[in-house]
Structure 1
């Protein structure tokens, strides 16, 4: 049923509240009644001017002419004003039916002027939607799958000066096609696909226009359309169109499944009193908000921030920030249908939110903001020990309100175990179990290492999550790490970073970076590092392994680089607060694995502390030990079968073994990769060149300060004479 025909109250997000207006004591207008004056005003602004106007000019003039309804005046965490986003969508629809044009600047057409005269009040909006639905049969016929229709409809509304991401579009689709959304654009080119950017707001690396002969620079096109970029090439996040934005606007055209969230709300110790029994009895949940003045819900985050700063000025800035996050989540972000979890006396209760938040002047100041909740296991609490992972870790956070949306699958697993009917849920179907694929013989044959030995490495990584390959130079540590990771995970799920002495936590995980704003001023924004990006990607695909390769892991100050994450490497089932982010319950997903490499020649491995050794399993790759022992001989045998020019220096394996036999220090041995180059065996002097330019300089460094003739025992002619091989 369209929103403007609804007979029950609706929230600004277009979802039913479950409460009557009499119960709430307020009057709730329909979406149509709130948006219709804005559409009319926009058309009138264009009618009353003698030139085309920019989007910003139209929006500013509408704001001067119309009293914006409170439900549409909300500013989200990205700084976007809801009514402007909604009006942008609706004017795009007006463009489709011919009421206005939006090519660069906006202009009203004769049809638009006539519509202003013909349709008074809310009828203007209703006619707009009727005409638009009638004009969109092509897309309905073309995309028989409802999810593809939703994506197509969303792209049709992505107007100039806005952008979105593949991840936001995936959130609109059914679970079974989410992984294919990226390929949708290859099969169905869209005139707005250049407005789909990376998660960071950057032009995708492999961007190409739908028309092969088009050569415009996509950033220049986007800037002409009104999109703003900072000095690092990232789009303005206030111009981002999210999945929630799409859901609201598409509700009139096609049924979009609402997003379901989950929350932890603490009530076991509110100013010294356990309120959970009260919640269970009264079917509610609440926040104390003891110093908060009476507020009207919903309330914009900016307005709420001003109130919190004033009402809690006697508290520290950290307390004020925490209160703002809790109040905003409870009042604005929670919605009917969301799961809510609470705990008391070592047991957990799960419920569903059934209505909007309301402010009530509580006599004891312990429950001033309340929401109705249907508690699903009020008489069957679940002990902490029986909670599915990762819920136990999330219970350790300090905030009174913690979002658990990423853990809905665990909550529904819990409810299923309690034999509670979940009804029609919007969560994803059960995921495939996380697992490594078995190591194939093809990989073993490619890198000439026994399959069982490679499987042992994979098993160690699976069991311990963290693995370090260490050994002398030239033993293929990084090569093996990359090949192993590529066998166990998809290419997009593998990331490599290299540590060095100046590498920091801010480089590795997250930190503040200077960003030039649209007005030319510099500001600092929190930006994710490679590990944080990998972790967030892993959260989106919990049944797929994600692997971080850290090359030269011992080159950096590990305690400095990992910071509080050091704790999570060992305690994967626990949570911890982050240095910069507001998250108090950050966890490492179980599908994140780490492979490090260490070079033993600089002795830095001896400096690795016990804490590091406890968190990683160590596997040595050494020329005298399996799986590297005999590798050069196996490689050379394969080369001779495929390269008829490789007929020189076939004694290289024996010479290398003789060299390492003369190197007394186990950690200073020379690995075979120096000699695993086809050119060494195509030229008569190929081995001598490598020996003089790569191997001897390395040995000279090891013997720095010794007499010059110390290197004579390592020279190629000397070794060949000892082996009785003619020079």
Structure 2
């Protein structure tokens, strides 16, 4: 034990310190409090580098980053705090089990990151692997990253400037002295806003001169050690990508037959000067800006993206798909890109290729979903990598033998099964919950509606968390009258640009971020919960997305698309649960388009499963010895709702499901006077004040509704 860092003991002590704190606390304060309650060994106290970093603190920072990834604690603006999920985990697991479960959850997250890395090739893949070891609260240098990735240092900035959003952490790579590189390639435009502020929010400390703390720096050896600990010392197997390249109408000619005869694929590149691929994207952008001045800005952006994909991102072994005369053809790239001066100037950029089905074309209507939607893009080059499994299925049907096929999904998309534990926790029958899960699986969109206090939002969250199995796959937003498409999906936001000038960046909203994550992890269900969905102008908020709620296999152009390549579709693993308070707006007022796209499930105090919820809860409270007063609360609520004539204005049981109500004799009266009667007064606005007398407790005590039998606890 003397030469081992006691992870379970230290991590448990850390979580206890955070739970006992009244508010988020600094990392140094956390360490000080742990040191006061744990007798640290000489091995743990040993200084491990020239910055004075002690082994146990370095070890704890690494492990708490895993706990943060698991959703059990947060590190924001240098402050640490425990989350409700972390508190629940502490109550569920002992010290050793806590670490084991944390590792399990963390490895699930790592698995998704690995999948993203496998989509890269060569040096990019090596850099991304090394970068994945730099967790929140740490930073590394360009030379350390290059050393671990075994690539030239000059390759790192180019990769980080164009880093795939699915590979986070590029902002954690700094100069040797911990300062930000003032190179335009690594400006905030490319790396996600104010990088220093982002690092500080993760817990990285800076001195007055702008140097990141050397104690939080990871050397090349540190990166190697962490990757080895994560089981990533072996080189990952590269995976093929897939591309749509259009050639059926290039300046009026169909080039596809020539591609198949000549064994190549091409882009026109009509206005390009002689170039030697690969060409860095920033250099390519300058060439396009100069050579295609006659085109609009949006068209030049699209050209740059297409040329970058063809010259730099495609690799030998990638799949090809093209269309001609209503038929689809499949192939594979077999060489790097070259520039040639073609006679007709219609195919200057070329790659050799093998075409599999030149004599067996696939009619467009026989293409399997989601390829028809993806082919709706009018761009000349479209990345189809996320649909590579479908392409390989087509090749299998053509009896084409595939060498080194991309890995199939590890498991099919599925909900976690509704179990007795969930039913018991929600006090709702397992059969009813399973039915709603089946409806959601079938329809993809579901709305829970009913009067206030019926537990709609709580049920939506608990059901989504259970079906997903990971809280990172659930996102909640609340609609309100001023909520817009730009808030919900994407829109331009002002940011500080170069030289301090105001610029506008396309900002992703919560729904776009959820969809992007779901697309990367197609085997996992993702849930968007929209609380108070009827309080916003739905046509305004959803915009063109309304169409996709009904047609998941189709694609559309987005409002803020930079070019035609930016077609968008909703993945099949995205599910939406909305909640609707019928006192705000009757369900009858919801437009037909909305009703057609969502399944509706009513939660009402007079019907199952809500009708016995309060009685079940009170029976449990009584069995635990906490029901001291107001034992007839359920009868009084039934009597109240019997006197409310408008069904949509009934009062749900959640108002009375607080233990404090039953600790004192006047607890029920307090909630009645402060919560329930004001709500009823609002419903009867303009009526004489005496109308509320029929709802007061003394009136209900005189004539309660017929009591229902108490359920068994």
For Structure 1 versus Structure 2, the TM-score category normalised by the shorter chain is: 0.5 to 0.7
Matching residue within 253, 267, 282 for 1:287: 267
Task: Indicate yes or no: 2:603 matched with 1:621.
Answer: yes
CA offset digits 1:89-136 (Å, max 9, x no partner)? xxxxxxxxxxxxx999xxxxxxxxxxxxxxxxxxxxxxxxxxxxxxxx
Matched position secondary structure for 2:306: helix
Kindly report which structure 2 residues correspond to 1:231-242, keeping only aligned pairs within 5 A, or say none: 231=194, 233-234=197-198
Classify the secondary structure of the residue corresponding to 1:624: coil
From 649, 654, 660, the counterpart of 1:679? 660
Residue equivalent to 1:134:
none
Single out whichever of 411-420 and 586-595 deviates more from structure 2: 411-420
Shift of the 341–650 alpha-carbon distance from structure 1 to 2, 3 Å rule, reads same
Contact 1:448-1:631 at 8 Å conserved across structures: yes
Alignment of 1:528-539 (within 5 A): 528-539=508-519
Aligned counterpart, 2:383: 403
- SS, match of residue 529 in structure 2: strand
Alignment-derived partner of residue 433 in structure 1: 412
Would the aligned equivalents of 1:497 and 1:549 in 2 still touch at CA under 8 Å? Answer: yes
Q: Residues 451, 397 of structure 1: CA spacing in aligned structure 2 closer, same or farther, 3 A cutoff? A: same
1:533-555 deviation per Cα after TM superposition (whole angstroms, max 9, x unaligned):
11111112111101110111111
Moved more, 622-631 or 704-713: 622-631
Distance 1:166 1:592 in 2: 20
Deviation at 1:336? 1.2
1:329 to 1:712, Cα distance in 2 relative to 1, 3 A = same
Matched, 1:592 2:571: no
1:471 aligns with 450
Report the counterpart of residue 425 of structure 2 in structure 1: 446
Change (3 A) 1:715 1:255: closer
Question: Deviation at 1:387?
Answer: 2.7
Counterpart for residue 71 of structure 1: none
User: In structure 2, what is the equivalent of residue 635 of structure 1?
Assistant: 617
Q: Does 1:366 align with 2:346?
A: yes
Query: CA shift at 1:522, angstroms?
Result: 4.0
Q: Distance in 2 between matches of 1:203 and 1:281?
A: 45
* Shift of residue 688, structure 1, vs aligned partner: 0.9
Superposition deviation, residue 391 in structure 1? 1.5
User: Does structure 2 conserve the Cα–Cα contact (< 8 Å) formed by 1:470 and 1:600?
Assistant: yes
Count of aligned pairs between the two proteins: 532
- Using the TM superposition, give the Cα deviation of residue 203 of structure 1 relative to its aligned residue in structure 2, in angstroms: 8.7
Q: From the superposition, tell whether residues 421 and 398 of structure 1 become closer, same or farther in structure 2 (CA, over 3 Å).
A: same
Counterpart of 2:592? Answer: 610
**2:567 is paired with a residue of what secondary structure?**
coil
Whole-Å Cα distance in 2 between the matches of residues 190 and 303 of structure 1? Answer: 32
Report if aligned partners of 2:639, 2:705 keep a CA contact under 8 Å in 1.
Answer: no
The answer to whether the 8 Å contact 2:140/2:173 transfers is no
Using the TM superposition, give the Cα deviation of residue 404 of structure 1 relative to its aligned residue in structure 2, in angstroms: 0.8
For the 8 Å contact 2:250–2:346, the answer to whether it is kept is yes
Q: Is the 8 A contact 1:172 1:257 kept in 2?
A: no
**In 2, Cα distance between equivalents of 1:521 and 1:450:** 59
Aligned residue number for residue 225 of structure 1: 178
Selected match of 1:515 from 495, 511, 514: 495
Helix, strand or coil at the partner of 1:305 = helix
Q: Which residue of 1 aligns with 2:152?
A: none
RMSD (CA atoms)? 3.8
CA distance in 2, matches of 1:506, 1:267: 36
Give me the whole-angstrom Cα distance separating, in 2, the residues matched to 1:629 and 1:572. Answer: 36
> Which deviates more from structure 2 when the two are superposed, residues 489-498 or residues 374-383?
374-383
Tell me the secondary structure at the aligned position of residue 534 of structure 1: helix
Larger CA deviation: 624-633 vs 429-438: 429-438
Give distance in 2, aligned partners of 1:168 and 1:430. Answer: 14
Q: Secondary structure at the match of 1:532?
A: helix
Cα pair 1:511 1:527 within 8 Å, conserved: yes
1:577 and 2:541 matched: no
What is the rounded CA distance, in whole Å, between the counterparts of 2:317 and 2:112 in structure 1?
23
Q: Specify whether residues 168 and 491 from structure 1 end up closer, same or farther in structure 2 by C-alpha distance, changes over 3 A only.
A: closer
- Worse-superposed segment, 483-492 or 521-530: 521-530
Cα distance between partner residues in 2 of 1:716 and 1:414: 70
Q: Highest CA radius of gyration, 1 or 2?
A: 1
Q: Deviations over 1:196-236 (max 9, x none)?
A: 999699999xxxxxxxxxxxxx9999996123675473369
Structure 1 residue 186, shift from structure 2 partner: 12
> Does the aligned pair in 2 maintain the 1:200–1:234 contact within 8 Å?
no
Task: Give, in angstroms, the shift of residue 628 of structure 1.
Answer: 0.9
Conserved 8 A contact 2:535-2:584: no
| 1:723 aligned residue | 704
Q: 1:615 to 1:281 in 2, by over 3 A?
A: same
Distance in 2 between residues matched to 1:693 and 1:652, nearest whole Å:
16
Matches within 5 A, 1:64-103: none
Name the counterpart of 1:699: 680
Distance 2:403 2:166 in 1: 37
Offset at residue 505 of structure 1 (A): 1.8
Aligned to 2:631: 650
- CA distance 1:354–1:103, change in 2 (3 Å): farther
| Unaligned 5+ runs, structure 2 | 1-48, 52-109, 121-128, 146-159, 182-187, 201-211, 213-217, 228-232, 708-713
Note the C-alpha offset of 1:690. Answer: 0.8
Name the structure 1 match of 2:506: 526
Helix, strand or coil for the counterpart of 2:495?
strand
Task: Please state if 1:343 is matched with 2:329.
Answer: no
Shift of 1:720: 1.0
- The answer to whether the Cα contact below 8 Å between 2:271 and 2:291 also exists between their aligned partners in 1 is yes
Aligned counterparts of 1:613 and 1:536: Cα–Cα separation in 2: 26
Alignment TM-score, normalising by the size of structure 1 = 0.67
User: How far apart, CA to CA, are the structure 1 residues paired with 2:543 and 2:318?
Assistant: 34
* Separation in structure 2 between the aligned mates of residue 365 and residue 235 of structure 1, nearest angstrom: 49
**Residue 464 of structure 2 aligns with which residue?**
485
* TM-score when normalising by structure 2: 0.68
CA shift, 1:287, in A, is 1.7
The Cα of 1:166 is off from its aligned counterpart by 9.5
Distance in 2, matches of 1:263 and 1:617, equals 37
Give ranges in structure 1 of 5+ residues lacking alignment. 1-101, 105-164, 176-180, 205-217
Residue 547 (structure 1) aligned to one of 522, 527, 543: 527
